[in-house]
Amino acid sequence: MEYGVVYLVLAAAFGLFMAWGIGANDVANAMAPSVGSKVLTIRQAVVVAAIFEFAGAVLAGGEVTATVRSGIVDAGLMEDSPEVLVFGMLAALAAAGTWLLVASKKGWPVSTTHSIIGALVGFAIAAVGWSAVQWGVVGTVVASWVVSPVLAGIASFLLFRSVQYLVFDTPDPLRAARVWVPVYIGLTGFVIASVTLLKGLGHLGLEISEAQSYGYSLFFAVALWLVGKGLVARIGVDPSADRDFHFASVERVFGVLMVVVACAMAFAHGSNDVANAIGPVAAVVSVVTSDGDVTAQAELPLWILLLGGGGIVAGLFMLGHHVIATVGSNITQLTPSRGFACGLATAGTVVFASGFGLPISTTQTLVGAVLGIGLARGIAALNLRVVGGVFMSWLVTLPAGGILAVFFFYLLMLAFGG
Amino acid sequence: MKSYFSSIFGRSPVSPLQHHMAKVLDCAEALVPLFKAVSEGDYNAVATAQQRVTDLEREADALKKELRNKLPHSMFMPFDRADFLELLRAQDRIANKAKDIAGLVLGRKMQLPEPLVDPFMDFLNRAIDASRQAKNTVDQLDELVETGFRGAEVEVVQEMLDKLDAIEHDTDRMQVQLRSLLQKLEPRIPPVDVMFLYQLIERVGTLADRAQQTGSRLQILMAR
Cα dihedral B27, B31, B33, B35 in deg (nearest 10): 170
**Global confidence as pTM:** 0.91
| Residue among A57, A127, A60, A63 nearest A89 (CA) | A127
Question: Which uninterrupted H or E stretch holds B75?
Answer: strand B75-76
pLDDT tens series, chain B, 224 aa: 456 778 888 889 999 999 999 999 999 999 999 999 999 999 999 999 999 999 999 999 999 999 999 898 899 999 999 999 999 999 999 999 999 999 999 999 999 999 999 999 999 999 999 999 999 999 999 999 999 998 888 999 999 999 999 999 999 999 999 999 999 999 999 999 999 999 999 999 999 999 999 999 999 999 87
- From residue B100, how far is each of A186, A311, B37, B176, B215 by CA, in Å? 60, 68, 17, 21, 21
CB-based contact B127:B201 (threshold 8 Å): no
CB-CB under 8 Å, B146 with A323: no
Q: How far is A52 from chain B (nearest CA, A)?
A: 21
B16 touches chain A (CB under 8 A): no
CB-CB under 8 Å, A384 with B76: yes
pLDDT tens series, chain A, 418 aa: 678 899 999 999 999 999 998 888 777 777 877 887 788 888 888 999 999 999 999 888 888 999 999 899 998 888 888 889 999 999 999 999 998 888 877 777 788 899 999 999 999 999 999 999 999 999 999 999 999 999 999 999 999 999 999 999 888 899 999 999 999 999 999 998 988 887 666 666 677 788 888 899 999 999 999 999 999 998 888 887 777 778 999 999 999 999 999 999 999 999 999 999 999 999 999 999 888 888 777 778 889 989 999 999 998 888 888 878 777 777 788 899 999 999 999 999 999 898 889 999 998 999 999 999 999 999 999 999 989 988 888 888 999 999 999 999 999 999 887 5
List the single residue in A with minimal CA-CA distance to B15: A380
Instruction: Report the greatest alpha carbon distance in chain A.
Output: 75
**Which chain A residues are within 8 Å of B4, Cβ to Cβ?**
107-109, 386, 390
Question: Which uninterrupted H or E stretch holds A382?
Answer: strand A382-383
Query: In this predicted structure, what is the pLDDT of residue B2?
Result: 53
3-state secondary structure of B76: strand
3-state secondary structure of A228: helix
Query: In this predicted structure, what is the pLDDT of residue B1?
Result: 42
**In sequence order, what are the residues at sequence separation of 6 or more whose Cβ sits closer than 8 angstroms to the Cβ of residue A302?**
A58, A204
How far is A190 from A411, CA to CA, in rounded Å? 48
CB-CB under 8 Å, B151 with A377: no
Helices A42-60, A4-36: inter-axial angle, 10-degree rounding: 130
Query: In this predicted structure, what is the pLDDT of residue A200?
Result: 60
Sign of torsion over alpha carbons B100, B60, B224, A160? negative
Domains, in order of start, for chain B: 10-223 (1.20.58.220)
B148 touches chain A (CB under 8 A): yes
- Residues belonging to chain A: 418
How far is A398 from A405, CA to CA, in rounded Å? 11
CB-CB under 8 Å, A378 with B145: yes
How far is A277 from A172, CA to CA, in rounded Å? 48
Q: How far is B33 from chain A (nearest CA, A)?
A: 28
**Which chain B residues are within 8 Å of A381, Cβ to Cβ?**
9-13, 75-77
Which of A114, A161, A168 should one mutate to test binding to chain B, selecting the residue with the greatest count of B CBs within 10 A?
A: A168
CB-CB under 8 Å, A381 with B75: yes
CB-based contact A97:A17 (threshold 8 Å): yes
How far is A114 from A120, CA to CA, in rounded Å? 10
Q: How far is A368 from chain B (nearest CA, A)?
A: 11
CB-based contact A354:A268 (threshold 8 Å): yes
CB-based contact A133:A119 (threshold 8 Å): no
B5 → closest Cβ in A245, A327, A337? A327
DSSP structure string for A352-377? HHHHTT----HHHHHHHHHHHHHHTT
**Which chain A residues are within 8 Å of B72, Cβ to Cβ?**
383, 385
| Residue among A203, A260, A261 nearest A69 (CA) | A203
List the single residue in A with minimal CA-CA distance to B80: A377
B2 → closest Cβ in A326, A363, A390? A326
B76 → closest Cβ in A36, A328, A374? A374
Query: In this predicted structure, what is the pLDDT of residue A370?
Result: 94
CB-CB under 8 Å, A25 with B77: no
